[in-house]
Structure 1
Amino acid sequence: MNFAAEGKVAEGKAADEQAAGPNESPSPSADDNTDQDASMPIRIALVGAGGRGTGAVIDSLSINENVKLVAMADMDERILASARKRLSKRYPEKVDVAEKDMHVGIDSYQRILDDPKIDLVLMATPPGFRPRQVLDAVEAGKHVFAEKPTCVDPAGFKICLAAHDKAVENGTCIVTGTQYRRQVNYVEAIKRIHEGVIGDIVSATSRYCGAGIWFKNRRPDMSDTEYQIYNWMHHIWLSGDQIVEQSVHNIDAMNWIMGGPPESAYASGGRFTRPEGSEMWDSMSVDYLYPGNRSVSFKCRQIPGTDGENSNVIRGTKGHAVIYGINRGAFLYDAEGAEIWSMKGDLSAAYQQEHKVLVNAIRSGKPIVELRETSESSLTAAMGRVAAYTGKHVSWKFMSEESKLDLFPKKLDINSSLPEPKHAIPGKTKLV
């Protein structure tokens, strides 16, 4: 069973507000990209050894000098062993994980945090675990790379805010896996949007639509907890549904462009192709309303045989911008539709860049702490899910301050039973 997920910046709160104003995130261009003295070794640990976790390790080891992977943790010892073998073969001089530093179990990450030789922890477990694990890591004095999303519900959001503030107090780093924040064509396009090249922003359309996604059948020897973690994407307490786990990238870009989270969400959607036992919906459409009466129409879908689209269209009073996902690039157009600027995308470089700026920040002693804004984007995605599930208008104030929704099991034991999964039904699912 795989514990791993497969699937901006200032030095503290006061600096955030001074650099960008109280309602907007600082630009990723504020990152210090200058190579720091690589004589300072950085000892890395990985929590969650699946595809995304090993990908994060590869990105960090590829772009940084004098870094070494020294410990690993996962629920599944087979996945753990396989990941160490692959990483050791690829980076024999940068991977040195002794058998005693291979930790297995639902609480195995705690043994990582107790290890004084570890400087930086890469967190890539299923998203439902992220808030508590990141807070524990910060309280242990570790620097953190936290994969997206950083929370799946309001309870996790509040934990993330506490972790952000604690990291600022500690002087430790938290960089998150919102790689578009460091993809150059995104940075440059949004910089021009903020400079007014397309005029005042009026509205936007964002899409993250694709085919189906994996589903893992239960093995006879698995407890409820084991199986749900093994098949984590299909259980909302772990993934937050597709709008949180996957589509947070586009929603984060919208928050970045708009200068902060929306005021409200109204949504619909449904499920047509999900297998029995999955709690996920396979499509959602959300109307977000941002301050200044600016609307964003967002759609996500995972249905086999349908047309895919990953794009963000931002409409202004003087033109419009189109920013595509992955590597398709970004384009700005004037009011007549003539292209006035464009730039290609390089997603691989962005994946590595987030690890470069993290290690640079550790070595420079100028910590980056960006958990708050990524958590706001994660909660924005969760707000869209809650609006769709309940059929209600949902406000940011309700989600961030009033909601009591806490999806994480009250007592989690690897051998414990969990309630039978049930998908949401609008009109019956309550707003909590």
Structure 2
Amino acid sequence: MTQPITPTPNASAETPPPSRRKFIQHGSVISAGVATTFASPRVLRGSEPAESKPEPIRLGLVGAGGRGSGAINDSLSINDNVKLVAVADLVPQKCENICKSLASRYADKFDVKPSEMHHGLDAYKRVLDNKDVDVVLFATPPGFRAPYVLDAVDAGKHVFAEKPTCVDPAGYRQCLEADKKARANQTAIVTGTQYRRQTNYVEAIKRIHEGEIGDIISGTARYCSNGIWYRQRKKGMSDAEYQLYNWMHFVWLSGDQIAEQAVHNIDTINWIMGGPPESAYGGGGRFTRPDDSEMWDNVAVDYVYPGNRVVSFMCRQIPDTKSDNSNVIYGTKGTCTILGGNSGASIQTRDGKTTWEMSGDIGAAYKQEHKDLIDSIRQGKPIVEFAETAASSLTAVLGRMAAYTGQAVTWDFVANESKLDLVPRDLDIKGPGAARGFAVPGKQELV
């Protein structure tokens, strides 16, 4: 791939490029500044015949693996009048497999011609080049997220971006640029932080913010599980091919487990606290990872939030250990416990009496983020939430940097001073990939 983090030239937030961006509306009016950039859709209004329907919103998928499959299935199942028209992946077989599955399941919402199944490192650019694509769903390895979304915003596309949105400070700054441009262009960016749309999370955090547990004193957050997948290198693979194939285990691609997986809990804590922490200090290590994996298998970080409120965070992937996916917030009047998945949330007084509880439905939350995205486009009020998710992603990076180096690290340093930039500028699929090796505290430099 040639300079993947370079945005499309001659694009600016003030003058978005021509594109097929349609707000499909139902009795509402597009603002004058937005309407001028759209082709004229056929709009269903009261005086029009019933068979006159607005054109469908057309989707493109970039990343046809497990998470990409989940995202596009959620979008197609929850939204009416949408069509998938383009797919891209590094591997052609993945494009073929997902198209075969979707064509049989969503016949009326599937319109991917063979010419719109793209593969290779630059395949995402072919989706962005397609003027018929309104919304692009990005589910590639996280290292590509920030530059790809920035390119999509420059191309005038609406975006769904999986988490995390960045794996280093350089990517974080690209996220902020993309967020700013999307707001100026009035193009949406919704992210895969499904807990922000899970009803028990929303209600629990609303109650915290309304003071039901009193002033927040401290908290704990845990994302501890038994392990994660690992893919053996295939014969004949270059280093670059292997790293992309086994992407979870290379920090430039995944950000390590604290960013790729545990960012959900970190995002929840930032949501509760009203923003990112001021500093982080942590540790961890590796005991069970394969020899060529860069991942640690446990990280523990103390995050200090404004007001000297400390959140003790831990993530772990070690076989035969106890799992724990939880967020516990301690207040002057009580405690709020928010559990991951479908496990629900509750509030207890300081003497242990439960005063509120609510079950969870993570499946509905996964779908709701896609409904909110499409609804916001149709209503002419595009949601842009990239900066918030980028802040949570950088909070994960902050914790990783503190643990990897053994240093106390501040938010100001990672957000404004750090030069860490892990994503290779020129990546040749047959080439060496990124430099490899796992971090050792005291030896790992804070950059």
TM-score scaled by structure 2? 0.88
The alignment partner of 2:301 has SS state of strand
Q: Does residue 268 of structure 2 align to residue 253 of structure 1?
A: yes
User: Structure 1 residues 336, 35: closer, same or farther in 2, change over 3 A?
Assistant: farther
Within 2, Cα distance between the matches of 1:35 and 1:271? 57
Q: 1:58-207, aligned counterparts within 5 Å?
A: 58-207=73-222
**What's the counterpart of residue 359 of structure 1?**
374
CA pair 233-117 structure 1, distance change in 2 beyond 3 A: same
Q: Which residue of 1 aligns with 2:420?
A: 405
Tell me if 1:243 matches 2:258.
Answer: yes
Q: Using a 3 Å threshold, how does the CA distance of structure 1 residues 194 and 283 change in structure 2: closer, same or farther?
A: same
Structure 2: 5+ residue stretches without partners: 1-25, 29-43, 45-52
1-side partners of 2:200 and 2:27: how far apart? 21
1:17-32 aligned at under 5 Å gives the runs none
Structure 2 residue 291 is the aligned partner of structure 1 residue 276: yes
SS state of the match for residue 108, structure 2?
coil
What are the superposed Cα offsets for residues 66-116 of structure 1, whole Å, 9 maximum, x if unpaired?
001110000001111111111111111111111000001000000100100
Q: Which residue of 2 aligns with 1:389?
A: 404
The letter for the 2-side match of 1:357 is D
Matches of 1:177 and 1:65 in 2, distance apart?
20
Whether 2:57 is the aligned partner of 1:42: answer yes
Of 394, 399, 423, the match for 1:379: 394
Q: Secondary structure at the match of 1:233?
A: helix
Letter in 2 for 1:191: K
Q: Does structure 2 retain, via aligned residues, the 8 Å contact 1:186–1:330?
A: yes
Q: Distance in 2 between matches of 1:343 and 1:35?
A: 36
C-alpha distance in 1 between matches for 2:435 and 2:193: 33
SS of 2:107's equivalent?
A: coil
Amino acid at match of 1:128: G
Alpha carbons 1:313, 1:322 under 8 Å: kept: yes
Q: Secondary structure at the match of 2:109?
A: coil
Answering whether residue 352 of structure 2 is matched by residue 340 of structure 1, we say no
Secondary structure of 1:161's aligned partner: helix
- Between the aligned partners of 1:114 and 1:417, the Cα distance in structure 2 is 29
Whichever residue aligns with residue 108 of structure 2, its letter is E
What amino acid maps onto 1:400 in structure 2?
A: A
- Give the distance between the partners of 1:368 and 1:322, measured in 2 at CA: 29
User: Shift in Å at residue 419 of structure 1?
Assistant: 4.9
Report how far residue 223 of structure 1 moved.
1.2
Partner secondary structure for residue 93 of structure 1: helix
Aligned to 1:10: none
Residue 224 in 1 paired to residue 239 in 2? yes
Change (3 A) 1:83 1:314: same
- Identity percentage of aligned residues: 63
Residue type of the partner of 2:445?
A: K
Post-superposition offset of 1:334:
1.2
How many Å apart are 1:418 and its aligned residue? 2.9
1:214 pairs with 2:229:
yes
The CA distance in 2 between the partners of 1:35 and 1:280, in whole Å, is 52
- Offset at residue 39 of structure 1 (A): 3.3
The residue matched to 1:323 in structure 2 has which SS? strand
In structure 2, the residue matched to 1:287 is 302
Per mean C-alpha deviation after superposition, the further-off stretch among 394-403 and 92-101 is 92-101
How far apart are 1:162 and its partner, in Å?
Answer: 0.2
Distance in 2 (alpha carbons) for counterparts of 1:227 and 1:418:
9
Q: CA deviation at 1:410?
A: 2.6
What secondary structure sits across from 1:372 in the alignment?
helix
Moved runs in structure 1, 4+ residues, more than 4 A?
34-38
Instruction: Give, in whole Å, the separation in 2 of the partners of 1:417 and 1:209.
Output: 33
For residue 248 of structure 1, report the CA deviation from its aligned partner: 0.2
> Number of residues paired by the alignment?
399
CA distance in 2, matches of 1:420, 1:315: 42
Kept in 1: contact 2:240–2:434 (CA 8 A): no
The corresponding residue for 1:421 is: 436
Distance 2:218 2:225 in 1: 23
Provide TM-score, normalisation by structure 1. Answer: 0.91
Q: Kindly state the Cα deviation for residue 378 of structure 1 after the two structures are TM-superposed.
A: 0.1
Give the CA deviation at 1:40: 4.4
RMSD: 1.3
Q: Is the 8 A contact 1:40 1:363 kept in 2?
A: no
Contact residue 35 and residue 360 of structure 1 kept, 8 A: no
SS in 2 for 1:407: coil
Q: Does 1:304 align with 2:282?
A: no
Cα offset for 1:35?
Answer: 11
The equivalent of 2:280 in structure 1 is: 265
Separation (CA, whole Å) in 1 of partners of 2:181 and 2:345: 36
Aligned partner (choices 336, 342, 358) of residue 321 of structure 1: 336
With over 3 angstroms needed to count, the CA separation of the structure-2 counterparts of 1:428 and 1:186, relative to structure 1, is same
Q: What letter is aligned with 1:201? A: I
* Contact 2:221–2:265 (8 Å) recurs in 1: yes
**Partners in 2 of 1:35 and 1:411 — Cα distance?**
48
1:302 to partner: Cα distance: 0.2
Amino acid at match of 1:99: P
Structure 1 Cα separation of the partners of residues 319 and 360 of structure 2? 26
The one-letter amino acid paired with 2:63 is G
Amino acid at match of 1:56: A
